[in-house]
């Protein structure tokens, strides 16, 4: 009787969990298909929206620049006309009066053009911000698809978790080292460049100084990124150009 009870319980457990799991897997696999179609549609929508936003943003940015530069041109002419009228009308202006007028315009021009110069290279960033929500939706779909794909697989692989962990860690270590090697090569190249500028020169020309500063500016962020790399990787790195 005891054996019978154990057998019944075992069968009940297996059938309950097993059947339910199979249904869930089938359901998840169906959902993956639906989501993939949806993902394709959302991606198409993103491409279309992006093009539309970019075209509009480009036109708006161009119009703003033209408006600003035309306005400044008109302002210069207007100020020059007023000064001419004053002079023809017999008004006496000292050099320092003129100097003040020029400084005033220079400051006006500086403030007006600053915004234009500061604007993002493509002038479209602000318009593209609204694309973020669409991209987010696409990311969510992608994540959901992955999750469902995982659910759609038998759970047997979970047993290998320890083995998976070891494999993943081994993978990560190698991957990090490869990244560090590449970073170290870039740093080595930039250092070689900087050394080449200073080599044999007692004093640097302005052009050389500017070039050196540019390279040092490039080097700084790379060195910051390399702080977590192994010391021997950084030490042994050579610029690929100079590798035998």
Partner 1 sequence: MKMRKSVIFTLSAVLVATSIPQAGQAQRLYNKERDDQAQAALPLAKSLKSGELFDKQLKNFASLVKKDFETEFLVTKFQIDALTLGVLTWQTANAQVCDIEKRDAAGLVPTESEIKNALDQLKTSIADAQTALDAFKKSIKAKGVNNEKEEEKDDRSVLGNLFAGLGELDSLQDFLEQVQKAKPKSVDAKTLESLQQVQDVAAILKKVYDAYKAKVDEFNKLEDQLGELRLVLKTVAIQSLQVDEDHWKNIAAIRARREIERAETLRLINQYKGIVARLGVVDYPSTDPVKKNLTFCTIAENAKDTSDGFRIWPDQMITVHLQELVELGQLMEENNRLIEDAAQRALKQMQATTSESDRIAAGAQTLKALENAMEGIDDAHQIHRFKPEIRAQLEVDSKNLDNAVKSSKEASEAALQSIIVNARKNGVKIRDMVGDIPQMLFIVAALIARGSTPTRLADLRLVQELHAYSIRKSAVRARAYELTVSTGVQRLALFHAGGIKPTDVAELVFAASNIAITPAILAR
Q: Which of residues 98-117 bind partner 1 (CB under 8 A)?
A: 98-99, 101-103, 105-107, 109-110, 113-114, 117
User: From the CB of residue 237, how many other CB atoms can be counted at a distance below 10 Å?
Assistant: 21
Interface with partner 1 (CB under 8 A), residue from 56, 63, 129, 164: 164
What is the SS3 assignment for 178-224? HHHHHHHHHHHHHHHHHHHHHCCCCCCCHHHHHHHHHHHHHHHHHHH
Can you tell me the distance from the alpha carbon of 129 to that of 50, in angstroms, rounded to the nearest whole number?
A: 10
Q: Where in 16-55 is the site for partner 1 (CB under 8 A)?
A: 16-17, 20-21, 24, 33, 36-37, 39-40, 43-44, 46-47, 50-51, 54
- Work out which of 31, 53, 72, 197 binds partner 1, going by CB under 8 A: 72
Interface pattern 124-143 for partner 1 (x via CB under 8 A): --------------------
For 60, residues 6+ apart whose C-beta sits below 8 A from its C-beta are 123, 127
Residues 170-229 that bind partner 1 (CB under 8 A): 170-172, 174-175, 178-179, 182, 185-186, 189-190, 193, 214-215, 217-218, 221-222, 225
Smallest separation, CB 205 to partner 1 (Å):
15
- Judge contact between 146 and 51, C-beta under 8 A: no
Q: Which stretch binds partner 1 (CB under 8 A): 5-13, 201-209, 228-236?
A: 5-13
Q: Count Cα atoms within 13 angstroms, Cβ side, for 139.
A: 6
Among 26, 30, 126, 241, the residue binding partner 1 under the rule CB under 8 A is 241
Cα of first residue to Cα of last residue in the chain, in angstroms, is: 80
Residues 6+ apart with CB under 8 A from 183: 222, 225, 226, 229
Minimum distance of partner 1 from residue 137's CB (angstroms): 13
């Amino acid at each position: 009787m005891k054996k019978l009870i154990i057998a019944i319980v075992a069968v009940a457990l297996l059938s309950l969990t097993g059947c339910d799991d199979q249904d869930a897997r089938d359901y998840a696999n169906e959902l993956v298909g639906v989501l993939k179609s949806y993902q394709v549609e959302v991606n198409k929508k993103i491409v279309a929206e992006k093009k539309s936003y970019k075209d509009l943003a480009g036109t708006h940015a161009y119009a703003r620049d033209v408006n600003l530069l035309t306005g400044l041109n008109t302002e210069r002419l207007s100020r020059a006309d007023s000064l001419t009228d004053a002079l023809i009308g017999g008004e006496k202006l000292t050099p320092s009066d003129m100097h003040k007028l020029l400084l005033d315009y220079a400051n006006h021009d500086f403030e007006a053009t600053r915004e234009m110069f500061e604007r993002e290279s493509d002038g479209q960033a602000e318009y593209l911000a609204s694309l973020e929500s669409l991209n987010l939706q696409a990311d969510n779909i992608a994540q959901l698809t992955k999750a469902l794909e995982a659910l759609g697989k038998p759970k047997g692989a979970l047993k290998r978790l320890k083995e998976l962990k070891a494999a993943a860690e081994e993978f990560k270590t190698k991957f990090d080292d490869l990244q560090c090697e590449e970073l170290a090569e870039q740093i080595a190249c930039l250092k070689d460049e900087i050394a080449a500028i200073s080599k044999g020169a007692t004093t640097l020309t302005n052009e050389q100084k500017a070039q050196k500063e540019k390279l040092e500016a490039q080097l700084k962020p790379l060195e910051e990124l390399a702080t977590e790399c192994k010391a021997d990787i950084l030490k042994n790195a050579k610029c690929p150009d100079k590798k035998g």
